[in-house]
Chain A
Amino acid sequence: MMTQLNLRKTGQLGLIAGIVVLSVSAIGMVKTFDERDIITGVLTLGQLLLYSAPLIAGYMVWDRKEDVSKGIILSRGLIVGFLAALPVIGLIFLTLLWPTIRNALVNVSPALIEILTFGQGPVVGSLILLGVMTLWGVVGAAFHILPEKVKKPLFTGVVWVISVGLLSEILLLILRPYVPRNVQKIFLARRGLRWERPFSFSSSPSPSTSGGMRVARPPIKRQSSAWTIAKRNGCAHSTSAWASFLSSSCPSSSALISPKSSTSWVFLSSWAWVSTSSSVLPGC
């Protein structure tokens, strides 16, 4: 078991990821990138930077030549994620022991600590960070376990979500002449993708929590153009607006959209999924 875990390599990967996370935090990249949304109110570029190290390190724990069980691969991912969190947790506690640390490391600011601890204080925040990083390590490792039919479209979907989120400002400009403003607003916010709850007819949008912080989500415009189109097509359920939009390129892909997943990023993931895995969906 211990031999299969390959603790030396796994530990090395975890610590390298941890040092990368610590470095990008200490030089101010996380704080600066945090001002940029990928999915508004859900995921910022700073968080993406923070989580990408354990994710990538988790992905690197397994070599195709190795013959090990899925449990071992996931365990390695778990160790990598756990170790990746330790240096940055060390930094969080160092700020408690050395309050004037900013005199030396100018970018270790209270705002950075707030981001790293999800605004929950050093102890609870560190535990959450440990959990989240460990989870990302496992997610990275789990990528190997997924069947090829799922892995590729999922990867493409994630890349599309990140790309569209990053380029949202440019996309808004490009789409302006061709796509009605209301349709744009369905999935694009001013900076990043728009995170919406499923279309509902309730009068007041409720704030929700994400990543440990309370995020006030923008009010949902009720009768959007997409919704109108969907309704005209006879789609009674709110989610069908997405399905309708999606089915314009692939009629059978609406089956992928569950009523609870009508968010823009799921839409994009699904769209990418559909476009890259025609074998999954006969008839596309």
Chain B
Amino acid sequence: MSNRFREVDYIGIILWVFRAVVIGIVIYGIIKKIFFGVGNQYDFKTWMDFFVSGVAQGSLYALIALGYTMVYGILFMINFAHGEFFMSGAMTATVFIAASLANSGFLDEQPFISLVLITIASVVTAIGISLLTERVAYRPLRNAPRLVPLITAIGASFFWQYFFRGLFGSAIIPFPVPEALDGRWLILGYPILKTRVIVMITAFISLIALNMFIKQTKTGKAIRAVAEDKDVAALMGIDVNRTISLTFAIGAGMAGIAGVLWGLVFKQVHFYMGFVPGIKAFTAAVLGGIGSIPGAAIGGLILGIVEAVGPPLFLEGLGISGAHQLKDVIAFMLLVMILIFRPQGIIGEVLREKKA
């Protein structure tokens, strides 16, 4: 009898109870909201707005999460400076290109060309910063214990934050949005903000293009080979350092695109803008299964939708006022839950000891 008690996994039981309680609370909140009408009442159009806003936000998370997941896939390190690549591109493009184009009136005359120019500036800056960080901060630590590059990444993140604070100042800088993108488009009978549509389409195209690049090109194969085994890849004639740099560059390029889209949605940039989206994107990458590109996309979308729909759906149902201010709580609670109950993420594989 006493042996049986010893065999019981108490921690497992506690975790199961914890999971049941959390799920119970969420279901309770949803039931109260839907069937008992607790909190504000929203019509279908408003719920659609929440959903579309979530998808747009999730698309941005997905774009940023790609950088985390690709770098983790190839180096098995969490690049906490990735949020700063996103910020650097957005800030530099805003200060040097977008502001000038807006002042000259070219932004409103040629919105498409202007946005392409702004995106190119953002992508180039983000790639430059990422390559510099990889070369200076990460490459010398390639064979160091895993905690060392992790701490370095946090340091690099702070370095770039305050570097750009020194460069462009600590004030919030307005991101000029072309007049052509003001207002809404009717899509399937629902009016959706034009900027959100642009964000969703751009993110979708970028994700598809990246997936094709990784799966169908020689360079993509090289990246996958290095991610699988660096030593063997090197024996096959792949330049490992170049491939790793390329991975950083691709991830940063996606972050650069996300930076411009973020500016379009929120109409402002500042030196601290990379921190929270960076952590959220990391959450998205973990949620989808870190190391997996489709996982990052799915994780980002789920996180965005849960963040947008969750507060009005179950937090208001629980009688919590100002529920939208607690969307970060939901995001990070999701991270904790995923790490406890499904560390490999939604579509991630159970990692070998070497990768885990």
Q: Which residues of A contact B (CB under 8 A)?
A: 23, 26-29, 103-107
Interface centre among B96, B167, B168 (most CB of A within 10 A): B167
Is the Cβ of B163 less than 8 Å from the Cβ of A104?
no
Q: Which residue of B lies closest to A32 (CB)?
A: B166
Cα distance A105–B166 when bound, in Å?
Answer: 8
Is there a chain A Cβ closer than 8 Å to B37's Cβ? no
Which residues of B sit under 8 angstroms from A104, Cβ to Cβ?
95-96, 99, 168
Which residues of B sit under 8 angstroms from A107, Cβ to Cβ?
166-167, 169
Cα distance A232–B46 when bound, in Å?
Answer: 93
Is the Cβ of B163 less than 8 Å from the Cβ of A23?
yes
Q: Which residue of A lies closest to B166 (CB)?
A: A27
Q: Which residues of B contact A (CB under 8 A)?
A: 95-96, 99, 163, 166-169
Can you list 21 A-B pairs, Cβ within 8 angstroms, ordered by A?
A23-B163, A26-B166, A26-B167, A27-B163, A27-B166, A27-B167, A28-B166, A29-B166, A103-B99, A104-B95, A104-B96, A104-B99, A104-B168, A105-B167, A105-B168, A106-B167, A106-B168, A106-B169, A107-B166, A107-B167, A107-B169
Which residues of B sit under 8 angstroms from A29, Cβ to Cβ?
166
Q: Which residue of B lies closest to A26 (CB)?
A: B167
Cα distance A281–B202 when bound, in Å?
Answer: 74
Min CB distance, A156 to chain B, in Å? 28
Min CB distance, A26 to chain B, in Å? 6
Which residues of B sit under 8 angstroms from A26, Cβ to Cβ?
166-167
Cα distance A202–B163 when bound, in Å?
Answer: 49
Which residues of A sit under 8 angstroms from B95, Cβ to Cβ?
104
Q: Which residue of B lies closest to A19 (CB)?
A: B132
Q: Which residue of A lies closest to B173 (CB)?
A: A104
Cα distance A26–B96 when bound, in Å?
Answer: 15
Cα distance A105–B163 when bound, in Å?
Answer: 12
Which residues of A sit under 8 angstroms from B163, Cβ to Cβ?
23, 27
A23-B163, A104-B96, A106-B167 known; 7 new pairs, CB 8 Å cut-off, are A26-B166, A27-B166, A29-B166, A103-B99, A104-B168, A105-B168, A106-B169
Cα distance A28–B168 when bound, in Å?
Answer: 10
Min CB distance, B97 to chain A, in Å? 11
Interface centre among B95, B99, B166, B169 (most CB of A within 10 A): B166
